[in-house]
Structure 1
Amino acid sequence: MELPISVALARAVPVLPDGLGWWYEPKFDGHRMIMVRTEDTVTLYARSGRVVTPYWMDLALVGMALRPGTVLDGEAVIWRDGRLDFGAAQSRAASSVPRARALAARYPASYACWDLVQHPDPAIGDTRPLPYTTRRALLLELLAEVGPPIQPVPATDDRDVAEYWYEALQEQGLEGVVAKQGAAAYPSGGRGWLKVRHADTVDGLVVGFTGPRHRPHHLALVVGDEDSQVRLSARLEPVLAAHIGTAALSGAEVMGERRTEHETYTRIQTDLTVEILEGSGRHGTLTVMRMR
């Protein structure tokens, strides 16, 4: 298997799909991660394909319990006081390596796993062409040997249960529900999954900022496909700007200056995403609501 893989994505829809063949999973909100167990080590990849192992060394260490040849798709999450802390996960992802390790000592991560990309048995190998239900069964079998903090996400084919999750689990910080066709292959690089979220927002990948690093004025964002045009957000609220600057931008690698929309911004290498008010859209102002 060629690494890093092109990950599957989900398309936002207003309501959960209904009918035969649908499966549903709670949507965990943290840092998307591919976990690869080789013969000698564990390598962790962000959605972008960047190696992020040094920032999540606690998960890399527990990943050694997996059988060599295993490749998993899931979310690195951090639990605090019984609920998911989205900001803590993104702060870890955007920190310097020394700070990430200090954060890991205080708030260790868990890995919420929803898919098996490669099985360690060479007779099975690449599982992406297999149906979701088959991949799910193989995943449960493999992870039964491992245990927390690497755990499979819950799944059901009962829409009523999924609706209950959508309403009841918001208190624990879960973001919504993802729906997948039971007979479908893993949709690498495509938006073959559906997601229903509580907030009317879309995600934006942060690729830069204007103003000072510790209190940015605007964020340079890619919304939608990763090859979309870079756009600048509206002026950040002071409290949000300070939080993003201190928690997420301070350790990001600077790649130089770029221009977009006739303005210059500082380009950075990071996997930080933010929530943008939906409808602040393609041609309107991009209003950042919070870090993801």
Structure 2
Amino acid sequence: MTDPLPLPVRVALARRVDTVPAADALPGGCAYEPKFDGHRMVVLTGPVRLQTRSGRLVTATFPEIAEAAGALPPGVVLDGEVVIWRDGRIDFGALQRRALRGSRRGPVLPANYAAFDLLAAAGTDLRGRPYDERRAALVALLAPLGPPLQAVPMTTDRDEAVQWYTSLAPAGIEGLVVKGRGQRYRPDRRDWLKLRHAVPQDAEAIGFTGTPRAPRALVLDLGDGPFASAPLDAPLRTQLAALLVPPTPTAAAALDDGTPYRPLPAPLPVEILQGEGRHALTAVLRLRPEA
């Protein structure tokens, strides 16, 4: 079957807000979904392929997701997040390690796929249809399957969404994503809204800006593409410089805004704090090389 959407599939984006939006803040009213702490992933069928937001294929890295998607008819395109649960909460660090090392290097925790949109079905592009219609089709498609492939919860009740936001953080839920029930799906447009908790979390740095002797910031990737942290404080710069000696030659890279950075020879576990607000930065609280 011919793919119903141009490849690689481009995804819709969200812009930050500071409070839970009112029920009528978006066209057609608001649909509230929990924001899972995972990696953005597009699932295509006929044949099954798993694609990251950047367009890279990672089908072999998550064979359990690919196997579950094999039960879907050809011509389906899903948008969602791949996550790993451990001890009743989402473990982003375990997901990062698996994404970087693959699934064939020793025991790994099983992954789950939380689908939040249906972009195509039976080879038909659904992106021009309203959210409510796509959501109903998504639930009907995935309901017979169950884990590890399932639809994210959704509510149109703002009070329930506020309760989710305040009560689900201990389970690793980052916050909320809010969508207009009458909105179509527009790739690369920030039509959706997102509200995140400002709580410390584990992550992995993949690069740094500055020089090995005078690093300025770390480059992180939380599933939405690489970005630079807030400038490191003096103790962290000193600690990072010590870890970079002797420097390992690596090819230069650049962020979406053109900022150059140097990839690290291996991912570096860190603890970060994501600020709230539209222009908030992500601060690195500590380096965790022992992890």
TM-score of the aligned structures, taking structure 2 as reference length: 0.74
The Cα of 1:220 is off from its aligned counterpart by: 3.7
Residues 15, 286 of structure 1: alpha-carbon distance in 2 compared, 3 angstrom cutoff: closer
Partner of 2:252: 257
* Structure 2 CA distance for aligned equivalents of residues 137 and 290 of structure 1: 44
Partner of 1:114: 116
SS in 2 for 1:8: coil
TM-score of the aligned structures, taking structure 1 as reference length: 0.74
2:36 to 28, 32, 43: 28
Residues 205, 194 of structure 1: alpha-carbon distance in 2 compared, 3 angstrom cutoff: farther
Partner of 2:45: 37
Contact 2:93 2:204 in 1 (8 A): no
* Structure 2 CA distance for aligned equivalents of residues 189 and 49 of structure 1: 13
The Cα of 1:145 is off from its aligned counterpart by: 2.8
Contact 1:8 1:188 in 2 (8 A): yes
Partner of 2:16: 12
Unaligned runs of 5+ in 2: none
Contact 2:232 2:284 in 1 (8 A): yes
1:234 to 219, 222, 232: 232
SS in 1 for 2:173: coil
Contact 1:257 1:267 in 2 (8 A): no
* Structure 2 CA distance for aligned equivalents of residues 108 and 61 of structure 1: 12
* Structure 1 CA distance for aligned equivalents of residues 273 and 99 of structure 2: 19
Contact 2:207 2:261 in 1 (8 A): no
Partner of 1:251: none
Partner of 2:284: 288
The Cα of 1:222 is off from its aligned counterpart by: 8.4
Residues 61, 262 of structure 1: alpha-carbon distance in 2 compared, 3 angstrom cutoff: closer
- Once the two structures are superposed, what CA deviation does each residue of 1:16-46 show, in whole Å capped at 9, x if it has no partner? 11133111011111111001111xx311111
1:94 to 81, 100, 110: 100
Identity %: 41
* Structure 1 CA distance for aligned equivalents of residues 225 and 58 of structure 2: 18
Unaligned runs of 5+ in 1: 246-253
Q: Greater helix percent: which structure?
A: 1
* Structure 2 CA distance for aligned equivalents of residues 115 and 77 of structure 1: 16
Amino acid at match of 2:70: M
The Cα of 1:173 is off from its aligned counterpart by: 1.2
* Structure 2 CA distance for aligned equivalents of residues 68 and 273 of structure 1: 40
Residues 277, 169 of structure 1: alpha-carbon distance in 2 compared, 3 angstrom cutoff: closer
Amino acid at match of 1:256: A
Amino acid at match of 1:12: R
1:76 to 82, 93, 98: 82
Residues 19, 277 of structure 1: alpha-carbon distance in 2 compared, 3 angstrom cutoff: closer
- Once the two structures are superposed, what CA deviation does each residue of 1:224-268 show, in whole Å capped at 9, x if it has no partner? x9698x788526859x97xxx9xxxxxxxx972358999872478
- Once the two structures are superposed, what CA deviation does each residue of 1:91-126 show, in whole Å capped at 9, x if it has no partner? 21122x3xx3346x4310000110001112x4xx11
* Structure 2 CA distance for aligned equivalents of residues 168 and 127 of structure 1: 33
Amino acid at match of 2:275: E
Contact 1:31 1:93 in 2 (8 A): no
Partner of 1:154: 153
The Cα of 1:289 is off from its aligned counterpart by: 4.5
Amino acid at match of 2:168: L
Contact 1:26 1:178 in 2 (8 A): yes
Aligned alpha-carbon RMSD (Å): 4.2
Contact 2:219 2:226 in 1 (8 A): no
Contact 1:220 1:233 in 2 (8 A): no
* Structure 2 CA distance for aligned equivalents of residues 285 and 147 of structure 1: 37
SS in 1 for 2:21: coil
Residues 277, 73 of structure 1: alpha-carbon distance in 2 compared, 3 angstrom cutoff: closer
